[in-house]
Amino acid sequence: MPRPKIRLTCCLCGKPLGQRAEALPLDAEWQRRHPNMVGILACRCALREEWRCYRPDGRYVDGHIPSAVSPSPCLDSWDHIGDDHTLVAAVIRHPRSALEQGAEEYLRHTAHRPGVAPEVARELRAALAAWDAEGSLINDWL
């Protein structure tokens, strides 16, 4: 069976990411500011959104969640964006988000493909088992 293409939609704009696109992992502060966000993997649209973490008086905005990405005090939206990944790396590093964003078929294939590193396969299978326990969209449609 040929490897399925990765189907992944941006967590912010909802557009599909191209097969050669980079994916940007966003942290909890993005989720707080965008409560309708599905998953954490974004396209480059995240780079166009700018906000400050603090108010004019120098204190953080109400409800601010410190950056999980930057070791120093965060200043703006860029401090809450992780390193960019290839689409494959993003899906493997963030399988739960990838499932939420549409990459289920690719992850199922990869989790059982010969030649995948055992630790990676175990992590993907664990993510898929948790997903199945909650009921994935594909299972709900069947």
- Strand spans (E) along the chain: 22-25, 41-42, 85-86
- Domain limits for position 96: 8-140
pTM of the model: 0.88
pLDDT at 10: 97
pLDDT at 138: 53
pLDDT at 66: 92
Q: What is the mean pLDDT of each run of 10 residues along the chain (142 residues)?
A: 90 95 96 96 96 93 90 90 94 96 96 94 96 72 53
Q: Is residue 3 part of a domain?
A: no
Residues 6+ apart with CB under 8 A from 70: 79, 80
pLDDT at 135: 76
pLDDT at 114: 92
Total structural domains within the chain:
1
